[in-house]
Amino acid sequence: MNYQHILNSIEASLKGENLNGKVPDYIPELANVSADKFGMHLYCASGDHFAFGDSEERFSIQSISKVFTLALAKKYGGTKIWKRVRVEPSGGPFNSLLQLENENGIPRNPFINAGSLVIADILISNLENPKKYLLEFVQKITGDPTIDYDYEVADSEEKNGYRNRGLVNYMKSLGNIENDVEEIVDFYFHQCSLKMSCHQLAKAFMLFANEGRMLETDELILKKNNVKRLNAVMQTCGFYDEAGEFSYRVGLPGKSGVGGGIAAIHPMEYSVAVWSPPLNKKGNSQKGMIALEQLTSMTESSIF
Amino acid sequence: MNYQHILNSIEASLKGENLNGKVPDYIPELANVSADKFGMHLYCASGDHFAFGDSEERFSIQSISKVFTLALAKKYGGTKIWKRVRVEPSGGPFNSLLQLENENGIPRNPFINAGSLVIADILISNLENPKKYLLEFVQKITGDPTIDYDYEVADSEEKNGYRNRGLVNYMKSLGNIENDVEEIVDFYFHQCSLKMSCHQLAKAFMLFANEGRMLETDELILKKNNVKRLNAVMQTCGFYDEAGEFSYRVGLPGKSGVGGGIAAIHPMEYSVAVWSPPLNKKGNSQKGMIALEQLTSMTESSIF
Amino acid sequence: MNYQHILNSIEASLKGENLNGKVPDYIPELANVSADKFGMHLYCASGDHFAFGDSEERFSIQSISKVFTLALAKKYGGTKIWKRVRVEPSGGPFNSLLQLENENGIPRNPFINAGSLVIADILISNLENPKKYLLEFVQKITGDPTIDYDYEVADSEEKNGYRNRGLVNYMKSLGNIENDVEEIVDFYFHQCSLKMSCHQLAKAFMLFANEGRMLETDELILKKNNVKRLNAVMQTCGFYDEAGEFSYRVGLPGKSGVGGGIAAIHPMEYSVAVWSPPLNKKGNSQKGMIALEQLTSMTESSIF
Amino acid sequence: MNYQHILNSIEASLKGENLNGKVPDYIPELANVSADKFGMHLYCASGDHFAFGDSEERFSIQSISKVFTLALAKKYGGTKIWKRVRVEPSGGPFNSLLQLENENGIPRNPFINAGSLVIADILISNLENPKKYLLEFVQKITGDPTIDYDYEVADSEEKNGYRNRGLVNYMKSLGNIENDVEEIVDFYFHQCSLKMSCHQLAKAFMLFANEGRMLETDELILKKNNVKRLNAVMQTCGFYDEAGEFSYRVGLPGKSGVGGGIAAIHPMEYSVAVWSPPLNKKGNSQKGMIALEQLTSMTESSIF
């Protein structure tokens, strides 16, 4: 299927539109990105791909990285990870402490900060050098060895990341953290600082659309069964307190980041990534969500 | 595809198994149902259907009815219903008042009690005789005019339904209820008392698997676009505080009821209903969830 | 001690001052009261009394009535009332449902709405005609048989009192309500509609400053031990989510109402009532709190 | 007044009684204290004092120290401290994060952990060596230069104090912490480790019963006005989620610690300290609360 005219139509309807979203300002590296950036890249299971706008420019993928670390934790941490983090939608903001307190330090899902910090802890316990391992994993599944952490972003978050330290300390007090607090937040801030383009993200997410296999080589990277479950978690938990809204309007498993990126997949059909920095009140890319809603409306291709 | 051997295998593995679920005892009509009841019915888009056990015995569908009333509200209440109820997973038990208080009387989704009571209010405002209308709707989509409310169950719930009255009064105090409190709970208790078999439920849910059309006549009952969105809401909100778990383990849109029934669909593939009265701690049929997990594992047919 | 010059000084500093408080508008009978009303009355244990401003004008005492009903419940409901309502500060707004849900329908104290509704339920179970009994009790302790309910206010609240009905229904669902919901809210709305002047309130509260005895006749109305405990509950729970602030700034046991009244006592020293309709954000009379703070500052007479 | 026979009576009724309280076990230094320890010391404004049991044995005063640090913060931090911590009862457990999240990092009062950590931060900002200063202050008001920190207890808490670190990091993320996290918890764990006897605590608390003056020398240590307000905060917030119950049953301002100590005062009358390690479910000394209830019942001396 040729998606180019659909992407063109999305670009035409949204490019230059000044919606009321806001570029986050809590660290300078994110605040300084232009609000006008807008790009999209779609990869078909057939190998064809389509794009528009700033689809080759790299940006801070932030929480989208949580999908990669969860994939690694499934691979190396086994099923016992579900004793330390659940798979339920949070019904609250992404960095909430409330539910941790009500639920004995077991985060609701691996895509809220608390949950991803537990996943970081699991990777530190199971991998020799998780920071290096994660980077190589992402380089491999994108076929691009130039992908790297943005060390300034990581550094900036380390200087201000008291809330995440609060979460880790609190979970450690409840017995759900094994490793050193600073080691965990260091890994976590690095994973969030990964810089990737829409093109690279779409390629990486093809793994989840393609039952765990690399598209070009057919190499099996993740078990099919694990991929199905990762996708289920993206569907119910991928958009903070807007997961239901995204499921309702877009109807695809996906994951967003405060850098303005969203990656999503239609199993066996396509993977897609979109980037537009201004966020809506729930912390998801405002234009990105509309773009994906237009995509599944025009193609009538939601998973439902 | 012939699902009979798969259903046989599910029946063989679970029938007679005494898990630790509990039949709910808050009204005698539910408490008196045998914990051993177990049936399943699967309807294919091809028209074939398969079953085992007590699949023809009618039981109280309880909250599964919320899917039918939401479908009617989408049809007659228009898009403005989403100003009065959201589509986010609740992150809490089905009858919680907490979120109502934090969120100004707007229920998180139409499948928690508060949300379904708002839907009932909408139907009362838009239909002449919603109780009659709902019954005729269900009779039509199942092709079975003998389906009826269980007036003893409805009566029993009316005598004890103080929590639901609490919810309606509270939402009315916040301006989210238009009609008389007693009229709303009367409709609501009747909808929950509907008695249907797995066979009938599977047939009714085929509407959601078949883009809104009756399988035999191809008559369009619900718009395709509305059906996709109903399915999305089932996916993220259909199982109370276990929606993520169901999505993770089973991977189908569905809805459960405290009568022990679960109905689910695989778009364009099949609809399925299962019944086993003992509930797990989250209020969903324990055996029913395992049966559906076995189904999608054996057929490798989750939507992800 | 002659308090008149102190009262004069308070009147001089606050009369005509336009602070940023707001007269509540949820029922017309309260909304129509002039924001300029300001009066105070202080009764000494010696029998002397002092006043200024609108101290003889009757107003809706609203939640101040909760002290009278609690006194009656202590007298007729026995110690078992503390199994149905606690004596802890609520740490939340006066009509919150949150804590009810977390704490199994046992209200935190008898001065939040939920708690006072349980007290109403207790009086209905223990008194033949509680509405008549309460009125006669207040008439007796003030020596004024003209005190009456404001039936229009009660009627107005009955027409809009869905939140209180929500609370009662919810507690009934949890087993903490014995009587009919409408009977309880009818009694409750009447108790809140009591009209009294600062003079009458100060005289009534002298009972709590005087170890349970009528000042003029020395008649024992309430047990000394019960009075001490009533005063303790006023100290920790008398001002919704501002009880600590009142204790800190004023340092007297007391109780406020949304009609703009506050009554307080200094054990064995004096009782005092103040009235000014505009409320602060926490729902307490803004000018009334300042007036009482000035009183205890100038007299150096807090209980601490 | 001679209180000795009253103290004897309390000792007789409670000594050796095995109630269902539990000695806390989260650090070995507290867990190893004998559950049978029981002592009490009462200091009259006249200078007389009375005691029984283990009243001279030093124990870990834990949260009772929060009264001393608050007194110093009032002295050196000025009124602006009330912009960083409130004076409302918490309506929740002592180390809750819930309210911090709902209330923007401003703790409800200075006696919950979060609030006392803010007070520690204030002292670090205002005093050159707060750890030394606090120790000298306590030595001075007790007249006993041998009082010291228990460095093993402090060390043990530092090794496990992740929840308190969680609180400080979280408040720092919300802008309510100025100094280094580790410096704050180090000071905090030391203040909690202070070892004092009932005799010493009663003497120290006489300051609060005596309008801020040393009993023997009449030296003014704290302003009278500040002392009244400290006492008010003790009254409403001194016993975690049992402040109302203590006020109701005992009727004195006071403060408890998980080491099993409670110190309380009757303004201008007496100060009293009691020690019994087993705690009730709310974290207050079970026998200590009963002893104080007996004291105010037998002397009819509550402040109400």
CB atoms C244 and D228 under 8 Å? no
> Distance from C167 to chain B by nearest Cα, in Å?
6
Q: Which of A35-44, A157-166, A205-214 has the lowest mean pLDDT?
A: A157-166
Q: Which chains share 3+ C-beta pairs under 8 angstroms with D?
A: A, C
Q: How confident is the model at residue A18 (pLDDT cuts 50, 70, 90)?
A: confident
Q: Is the pLDDT at B153 greater than 70, yes or no? A: yes
Counted across chains A and D, CB pairs separated by less than 8 A come out at 61
Tell me which of A252-256, C257-261, D77-81 is least confident: D77-81
Which chain C residue has its CA at the smallest distance from D93's CA? C91
The answer to whether C173 contacts B163, with C-beta atoms less than 8 Å apart, is yes
Instruction: Note the pLDDT of residue C78.
Output: 75
What's the pLDDT at C37? 97
* Local confidence band at A97 (pLDDT 50, 70, 90 cut-offs): low
**D96 confidence band (pLDDT: 50, 70, 90):** low
Which residues of chain D are within 8 Å of residue A166 when distances are taken between CB atoms? Answer: 165-170, 172-173
Question: pLDDT tier at B92 (50, 70, 90 boundaries)?
Answer: low
Query: Shortest CB distance from B304 goes to which of A245, A267, A300?
Result: A267
Average pLDDT of chain A, as a whole number:
94
Q: pLDDT value at position B93?
A: 57
Residues 6+ apart with CB under 8 A from D77: D119, D122, D123, D125, D126
Which of B96, B173, B181 best tests the C interface by mutation, with the highest count of C CBs <10 A? B173
Burial class (CB in 10 A: 0-12, 13-18, 19+), D120: buried
Residue whose C-alpha is closest to residue C36's, from C11, C61, C60: C11
Q: In this complex, do A92 and B89 lie within 8 Å of one another by their Cβ atoms?
A: no
Instruction: Kindly tell me if the per-residue pLDDT of D101 is higher than 80.
Output: no
Is pLDDT at C211 greater than 80 in this prediction? yes
Supply the mean pLDDT for chain B.
94
pLDDT band at C18, cuts 50/70/90?
Answer: confident
Question: What pLDDT is stored for residue C98 in this prediction?
Answer: 65
CB contact residues (below 8 A), chain B span 153-212, against chain C: 160-163, 165-170, 172-174, 181
Tens of pLDDT, residue by residue over A107-131, are: 999 999 999 999 999 999 999 999 9
| Partners of chain B (3+ Cβ pairs below 8 A) | A, C
Say if residue C297's pLDDT is above 70. yes
Q: Which amino acid is residue D87, in one-letter code?
A: V
- Please give the Cα distance from C295 to D10 (Å, whole number): 39
ipTM computed for the complex:
0.92
Question: How much of chain D, in percent, has pLDDT values that exceed 90?
Answer: 87
Which of the four pLDDT bands, split at 50, 70 and 90, describes residue B28?
confident
Report pLDDT digits (tens) over D141-187. 999 999 999 999 999 999 989 999 999 999 999 999 999 999 999 99
Residue from the list D98, D161, D166 with its beta carbon closest to the beta carbon of A166: D166
| CB-defined contacts C:D, below 8 A | 111
Average pLDDT of the residues in D197-211 = 98
pLDDT surpasses 70 at A98: no
The alpha-carbon gap from D99 to the nearest alpha carbon of chain A, in Å, equals: 9
**Residue A95 pLDDT level (bands cut at 50, 70, 90):** low
pLDDT of residue A94 exceeding 70, the answer is no
**Searching chain D, which residue's CA lies closest to the CA of residue C265?**
D304
Residue D92, pLDDT above cutoff 80: no
Give the pLDDT confidence score for residue C62 in this predicted structure: 97
D170: its two tokens: 């979280």
pLDDT digits (tens, 9 = 90+) for A173-194: 999 999 999 999 999 999 999 9
Burial of residue B32 (CB within 10 Å: 0-12, 13-18, 19+) is exposed
Contact criterion met (CB < 8 Å) for A236 and B241: no
Look at B97 and C98 and tell me if their CB atoms are within 8 Å: yes
Q: Is the pLDDT of residue A93 over 60?
A: no
Give B250→chain C minimum CA distance, Å. 31
Answer yes or no: do C235 and D108 touch at CB < 8 A.
no
Q: Identify the CA nearest to A52 among candidates A16, A11, A18.
A: A11
Q: Are B196 and B58 in contact (CB under 8 A)?
A: yes
Which residues of chain A have a CB within 8 Å of the CB of B110? none
Exposed/middle/buried for residue C32 (C-beta within 10 Å: 0-12, 13-18, 19+): exposed
Average pLDDT over residues D271-276: 98
Q: Is the pLDDT of residue A96 over 80?
A: no
Q: Which chains have 3+ CB pairs within 8 A of C?
A: B, D
Q: Which of B176-180, B244-248, C183-187, D76-80 has the least mean pLDDT?
A: D76-80
Across the range B79-103, mean pLDDT stands at 77
CB nearest to D244's CB, from C231, C236, C245:
C236
* Averaged pLDDT for residues D7-31: 92
Q: What average pLDDT does range B40-52 have in this prediction?
A: 96
pLDDT tens-digit map of D117-151: 999 999 999 999 999 999 999 999 999 999 999 99
Q: Which of D99, D109, D242 sits opposite C244 (nearest CB)?
A: D109
Whole-angstrom Cα distance, residue C250 to residue A294?
61
pLDDT at D95: 55
SS (H, E, C) chain A: CCCHHHHHHHHHHHCCCCCCCECCCCCHHHHCCCCCCCEEEEEECCCCEEEEECCCCCEECHHHHHHHHHHHHHHHHCHHHHHCCCCCCCCCCCCCCHHHHHCCCCCCCCCCHHHHHHHHHHHHHHCCCHHHHHHHHHHHHHCCCCCECCHHHHHHHHHHCHHHHHHHHHHHHCCCCCCCHHHHHHHHHHHHHCEECHHHHHHHHHHHHCCCECCCCCCECCCHHHHHHHHHHHHHHCCHHHHHHHHHHCCCCEEECCCCEEEEEECCCEEEEEECCCECCCCCEHHHHHHHHHHHHHHCCCCC
Asked if B96 has any chain C CB less than 8 Å from its own CB, the reply is yes
Instruction: Kindly state whether D304 is in contact with chain A, defined as any CB-CB distance less than 8 angstroms.
Output: no
Q: Above pLDDT 70, what percent of chain A?
A: 96
In this complex, the residue of B89, B228, B242 whose CB is nearest that of residue A244 is B89
When pLDDT is cut at 50, 70 and 90, the band that residue C93 belongs to is: low
Is A301 within 8 Å of chain B by CB? no
Q: Is the pLDDT of residue A160 over 70?
A: yes
Closest residue by Cα to residue B280 from B53, B93, B83: B93
Q: Which of D233, D245, D267 sits opposite C88 (nearest CB)?
A: D245
Set of chain D residues whose Cβ sits within 8 Å of the Cβ of A167: 166, 170
> D87, C245: Cβ pair inside 8 Å?
yes
Burial status of residue A34 (CB atoms within 10 A of its CB: 0-12, 13-18, 19 or more)? exposed
What number is the average pLDDT over the span A98-106?
77
The residue-averaged pLDDT of C244-255 equals: 96
Check if the beta carbon of residue D271 is closer than 8 Å to that of residue D208.
yes
Let me know: does B30 contact B258? Beta carbons within 8 Å.
Answer: yes
Rg of chain C (C-alpha set): 18
- How many residues appear in chain C? 304
How many residues in chain D?
A: 304
A46 touches chain D (CB under 8 A): no
State the pLDDT at residue B195: 98
- The answer to whether the CB of A64 falls within 8 A of the CB of A258 is no
With cut-offs at 50, 70 and 90, classify the pLDDT of residue B145: very high
For chain C, the maximum distance between any two Cα atoms, rounded to a whole number of angstroms, is 54
* Mean pLDDT of all residues belonging to chain D: 94
Mean pLDDT of C100-116: 88
pLDDT of D106 > 70? The answer is: yes
User: pLDDT confidence of B78, banded at 50, 70, 90?
Assistant: confident
CA distances from A291 to A4, A19, A200, A248, D135 (A): 14, 13, 18, 14, 64
Question: Which pLDDT score, from 0 to 100, does residue B4 have?
Answer: 97
Q: Which of B160, B162, B170 sits opposite C163 (nearest CB)?
A: B170
Determine the distance in angstroms separating the CA of D163 from the nearest CA of chain A, rounded to an integer.
Answer: 5
Inter-chain CB pairs, A–B, below 8 Å: 111
Contact of C24 with chain B, judged by CB distance below 8 Å, is answered with no
% of chain B exceeding 70 in pLDDT = 96
C229 has a chain D CB within 8 A of its CB = yes
Report the residue from A244, A251, A253 with minimal CB separation from B237. Answer: A244
Query: How many beta-carbon pairs below 8 A join chains B and C?
Result: 60
In angstroms, the separation between the Cα of residue B267 and the nearest Cα of chain A is 6
Q: What is the pLDDT of residue A240?
A: 85
Which of C236, C239, C280 to mutate to probe the D interface, most D CBs <10 Å? C236
Q: Please state, rounded to an integer, the average pLDDT across all residues of chain C.
A: 94
The C-alpha atoms of residue A11 and residue A50 are separated, in whole angstroms, by 12
User: What are the tens digits of pLDDT across the range A189-242?
Assistant: 999 999 999 999 999 999 999 999 999 899 999 999 999 999 999 999 999 889
Q: Do B91 and A108 touch (CB under 8 A)?
A: yes
Q: Which residues pair with C265 in a beta bridge?
A: C271
Burial classification of residue A288, based on how many CB atoms lie within 10 Å of its CB (0-12 exposed, 13-18 middle, 19 or more buried): buried
Residues of D in contact with C303 (CB under 8 A): 267, 303-304
Of C108, C244, C300, the CB nearest to D88: C244
Most A CBs within 10 Å, among D117, D160, D165, to test the A interface: D165
What is the number of other CB atoms lying within 10 angstroms of the CB of residue A303? 24
Contact status of A248 with chain B (Cβ, < 8 Å): yes
